[in-house]
Amino acid sequence: MRSMKINQDWDFGLGQMDLGKRLRGIFGDRKVNLPHDYMIESDVYADAPSGLASGYYNAGVAHYAKEIDIPAGWENDQIFLRLDGAMMNATVEVNGSLACLQHYGYAPFETDITHLVYPGQKNRVVITVNPSMQPNSRWFSGAGLFRGIELVHTSKLHVAFGGLSGYTRKIEYKADSTAETAYLQVSAEIKNELAESRLAEVTFALIDDETGETVKTSKALTQVQAMSAGTAYMPLTVDDPKLWDAENPNLYRLQATVKDVGTFKTHMIPDEHPTEDTESVLFGIRTIETDVKHGLRINSKEVKLKGGCLHHDNGPIGTVSVYDAEARKVRKLKEVGFNAIRTTHNPPSSALIEACDRLGMYVFDEAFDAWGMGKQPGDYNQYFATDWKKDMTAFVKRDRCHPCVTIWSTGNEITERGGLNDGYIWATRLAETIRALDPSRPISNGICSFWNGLDDFIMAEQMKKRTESLSGGLQNADIGGKKDLLWEQYTEGFANGLDVVGYNYLEGKYEQDHRIFPERVILGSENYPKEIGMHWPMIEKTPWIIGDFTWTAWDYIGEAGIGKATFYEPGDPNIGNPWGAPSPFPWRTANDADFDVTGQIRPQGVYRRIVWGSRETALFSYDPAVIGKVETLSSWGFPGVWMRWNWAGQEGNPVDLAVFSSAEEVELIVNGVSVGRKKAGEAPVQDMPLTFLFRAEYQPGTVEAVSYTGGKEVSRTALYTTSKPVAIRLTAETEEMKADGETLCYVNAELIDENGNVVPNADRLLKAEVTGAAQLLGFGSGNPITDENYSKGQFTSYQGKALAVLRAGYEAGKAKLTVYAEDLGQAEICLQVK
């Protein structure tokens, strides 16, 4: 099997392709390179049909076209197009004929175009996507060919799409606990496109991904019927294996070479000119076990999942997914202490899976946000009944060899969780389907309380019970939540077939449900960010709770403003409303994460790092203008603090400061004068453990926080008042780029004063331009409220910072980024593209 990326120079146009233009040879309005997201290129507007769900974006029909060369030497080959995803309702045409229709935008798929192409000639591919029924997801979905395309050609006897499989059955250890022997089970599904049965000799090889050394080979022989498929199976025994886990992500490549050795009638008839086909995939040797006694074990070692939920967009570049974008995200998450991500709520890109393999990150790999009962007008439920098995199979087959994939998830907050629409039957059916494809991993589902999913009569009865005695009304209703056993009663059948039951926002049920279901392994599959300090100590000491996933680890476009902090005047009726204030246009991002959309860490990320063991001291200030008001956090919110000591015009006024520390005591010092000390738990911020709230008088200069345990200093930190900005500083995260059309360089733009300090309170409109061997893929800031366009090279900084994302072209040379502000002049940085 030989594949090549065909991402360069596609014709692109909005709308359905115009027949008149097509007849004149005009197939688009401009050229684009894939992956490409045209939704992120559009302007937001207040009346967008998806509203805050998409961050006020919209998308209609669009088309892509490209002429591809099919060499004459491929005349006897099988030829495919392979896409990692296309958003959405994609029709693929080749030379004017329909090749396939793919509804689910997040699922990988392959289409056989052998019968539609002419080897030795140019062949036209036209792909039309139609995400116009908005909203089609509960978040920013993006639109277009956002994960790229490969052209694949194989022999007539070849490894099927996703057909190479392998897992670790057992590992034996030496006395020093190092691995002695690993026992693997590998297989390859072989397709025979010929009109007679064939004998396939399959050679399996395990290759060290770092050194290229082949560490094990073995052969199997299988017969494959005409125009059918068969599977070759083989155990492999590996001595002194290098094991994969999140701390030591050792990788191999699993390779299968299929040789057509002839046919068999009453005896073997060799082929005079045998063909060969080879396929390989990243692979890791590791075992996964779950039970209530030991929790989750990776390679026989107990592991707690320090998890974060991730939507699939990459901020200023939209849903464009390439390795560099995903690897940057994974690296930053690991720096905070995350060891796991949840791909909420859809199959991720293969680029993200590869980044997690290579860098070491456990993955809760999720299939669907909806089954037969939808949540949005354009939801996948329209196609679930006919497409679920095809899409789930393609997703599982693509990911099952990858060691980072630790838990499969059949879905999230599925409406059928209470049994409606044969929900219990579907839950078991989906789990059984995954288990047949991959018996080596646990299966889960993220199950929430009943804000929907019960029949009308029970729902009305429960709503009445919950609201009659609650002054807060509907927002405080706990339908089947912590206060009764309705949830347990109605979800027990749904949990059948799950190895790990995901609890979304149901931490209060952990101990109760362990008594009811003593063999149930529980995972906090989705939880409020500010509550990690309350729940993590219990999770650490409780084996049958295997981890926690915060909503979310990385900010995303859509569900705009769900993580806001709002300050009300005393007596305002909205005080205490956990759903938060409205998020009108131009709110864009959820504002609920440890990192903003540009990758800048936010206060809650620093807090999480401390909860997970960091001995650092972190210091933040509130805006003095909110003194006297009451802070109300949405359920997904975090205290509205700032990493700054610039409050011009507030001199002499009181200001609140928040300190995060795991120490016994903290002291606050302003300009060398102690404000006082506070003990742990004495004055927490929003009742959060490991936090200290101080009030001081604002004076420009320096404010310090010092942590003490046992009377000895543990750590300290400070905030400084800066002067006005005088320049722009550009810092590239990489020094050079590959001329492959996919390599990215992230360049941080900062507004700095004469001492080189970032000025957080004097933002400017910045203009960015790239010339030479790269293009400006995106330019923006972490501001959650903006109507600016990430793709136009003009954006206002936020807290003194912005981010430019450069994409390498296909030719070597130099690339130059220039960023300009009217009163600060310009800054330049040059990069080499090789």
What pLDDT does residue 482 have? 54
| 459 part of a folded domain | yes
Of the residues 720, 736, 752, which one is the last residue of a structural domain? Answer: 720
Cα–Cα nearest to 22, from 134, 154, 170, 124: 124
> pLDDT by residue (tens digit) across 130-147?
999 999 999 999 999 999
Q: Tell me the average pLDDT of the chain.
A: 96
Of the residues 540, 556, 572, which one is the last residue of a structural domain? Answer: 556
- CATH number, domain at 667? 2.60.40.10
- Same structural domain for residues 242 and 320? no
H-run or E-run covering 510: helix 510-516
Mean pLDDT of 8-15: 97
- Same structural domain for residues 383 and 501? yes
- Same structural domain for residues 112 and 251? no
CA distance 114 to 259: 21
- Same structural domain for residues 660 and 753? no
Number of helices (H) and strands (E) in the chain: give both, helices first: 10, 47
**807 with 815: CB under 8 angstroms?**
no
> pLDDT by residue (tens digit) across 730-762?
999 999 999 999 999 999 999 999 999 999 999
The secondary structure of 525-547, three-state, reads EEECHHHHHHHHHHHHHCCCEEE
What pLDDT does residue 474 have? 40
> pLDDT by residue (tens digit) across 558-575?
999 999 999 999 999 999
- CATH number, domain at 522? 3.20.20.80
- Same structural domain for residues 424 and 522? yes
| 218 part of a folded domain | yes
List all residues 6 or more positions away from 382 whose beta carbon is below 8 Å from its beta carbon: 103, 374
**510 with 504: CB under 8 angstroms?**
no
- Same structural domain for residues 660 and 806? no
- Same structural domain for residues 551 and 504? yes
- Overall number of domains in the chain: 5
Environment class of residue 464 by beta-carbon count within 10 Å: exposed (0-12), middle (13-18) or buried (19+)? exposed
| 81 part of a folded domain | yes
Cα–Cα nearest to 453, from 431, 482, 430, 424: 424
- Same structural domain for residues 367 and 470? yes
Of the residues 720, 738, 771, which one is the last residue of a structural domain? Answer: 720
* Cβ atoms within 10 Å, residue 117: 22
- Same structural domain for residues 380 and 495? yes
Please report which confidence band the pLDDT of residue 471 belongs to, taking 50, 70 and 90 as the band edges. very low
**255 with 207: CB under 8 angstroms?**
yes
What pLDDT does residue 43 have? 98
What pLDDT does residue 665 have? 98
| 579 part of a folded domain | no
| 607 part of a folded domain | no
| 89 part of a folded domain | yes
Environment class of residue 393 by beta-carbon count within 10 Å: exposed (0-12), middle (13-18) or buried (19+)? middle
Whole-prediction pTM:
0.97
Q: Give me the DSSP letters along 420-487.
A: GGGHHHHHHHHHHHHHHH-TTS-EEEEE---SS-S-HHHHHHHHHHHHHT-TTGGGG--TTSTTSSHH
Rounded alpha-carbon distances, angstroms, from residue 660 to 1, 176, 183, 619, 672: 54, 40, 47, 7, 20
- Same structural domain for residues 493 and 504? yes
- Same structural domain for residues 293 and 430? yes
| 578 part of a folded domain | no
- Phi, psi (deg, nearest 5) at residue 67: -90, 130
Strand 157-173 with 2-5, pairing: unpaired
> pLDDT by residue (tens digit) across 52-94?
999 999 999 999 999 999 999 999 999 999 999 999 999 999 9
Confidence check: pLDDT of 215 > 70: yes
- Phi, psi (deg, nearest 5) at residue 668: -110, 135
Confidence check: pLDDT of 467 > 80: no
- Same structural domain for residues 774 and 706? no
> pLDDT by residue (tens digit) across 340-393?
999 999 999 999 999 999 999 999 999 999 999 999 999 999 999 999 999 999
| 602 part of a folded domain | no
- CATH number, domain at 27? 2.60.120.260
Look up the domain containing 702 and give its range. 615-720
- The angle at the Cα of 483, spanning 480 to 485, to the nearest 5 degrees, equals 55
